[in-house]
Amino acid sequence: MNLSELKQGQTATIAHVGGNGSFRRRLLEMGFLRGTEVYVEKYAPLKDPIELILKGYHVSLRVDEAAHIQVENVRS
C-alpha cells in the first residue's frame, strides 16, 4: 500500500522509499526510513498536500510524492 492511500488518523510503518536521485535522498534525510512509524494527521481541504507526523515532527508532502513511499502494518 502507498502512503498516499492512507486515510486521516491511520498509522503505518514505512516498508520502502521509492523515487530516484535527489528526490529519494530528500525523503530519506527527512526521516522517511524503513521501519519508521508515520501517522496521517490530516489532508488539506483539496486533498493535497497531506500532513504527516513521524519521529515527533510534522511534515507535509504532496500526494504524488507520498505515492512513492510503500507502507505496511496499517492500523487506525
Determine how many CB atoms are found less than 10 A away from the CB of residue 50: 21
Q: Where are the beta strands (DSSP E) in 23-68?
A: 37-43, 50-54, 57-61
Single pTM value for the model: 0.91
Q: What is the pLDDT of residues 26-43, one digit of tens each?
A: 999 999 999 999 999 999
- In degrees and rounded to multiples of 5, residue 19 shows phi and psi of 95, -175
Which range of residues forms the domain containing residue 54?
A: 3-75
Local structure of residue 63 (DSSP, 8 states): H
Which CATH number goes with the domain that contains 8? 2.30.30.90
Q: What is the pLDDT of residues 35-68, one digit of tens each?
A: 999 999 999 999 899 999 999 999 999 999 999 9
What's the number of domains the chain is made of?
A: 1
Q: What's the rounded Cα separation, in Å, for the pair 13 and 32?
A: 10
